[in-house]
Amino acid sequence: SQQGEEDPQALSIQEGENATMNCSYKTSINNLQWYRQNSGRGLVHLILIRSNEREKHSGRLRVTLDTSKKSSSLLITASRAADTASYFCATVTGANNLFFGTGTRLTVIP
């Protein structure tokens, strides 16, 4: 399976703190994407980073990619209670299909 893994599986922080989630994958990729899922809902695309990029920012989100280590991290700065959700990384390979990690459940305590 090409499915990746997120670490940690669950993360609980206070509002205002930063949250860091990590993703490891197994095969060469074209790009890596991060998605957010609120409980029982569909996924929302957050950010995409291509294999030739090392870092990308979008608002309070910062994503890094290390292709030599086959890993990525998602940093959410100044977290809010509304950031409470599950976060998934997904890799895209030559077939252009998405393969998802197992997710990190983030809880931001007001």
Provide the binding-site residues for other proteins, judged by CB under 8 A: 1, 3, 30-31, 33, 35, 40-45, 48, 88, 90, 92, 96-103
Residue (76 or 88) nearer to other proteins, CB:
88
Reduced to 3 states (helix: H, G, I; strand: E, B; else coil), residue 4 is coil
* Rounded least distance, CB 20 to other proteins, Å: 19
Residue (8 or 16) nearer to other proteins, CB:
8
d(CA 91, CA 43): 15
* Rounded least distance, CB 78 to other proteins, Å: 26
Residue 62 bridge partners (DSSP): 57, 75
Tokens matching residue 39: 């409980």
Residue closest to 36 by CA, chosen among 94, 96, 79, 93: 79
* Rounded least distance, CB 67 to other proteins, Å: 15
Residue closest to 110 by CA, chosen among 86, 82, 76: 82
Residue (19 or 49) nearer to other proteins, CB:
49
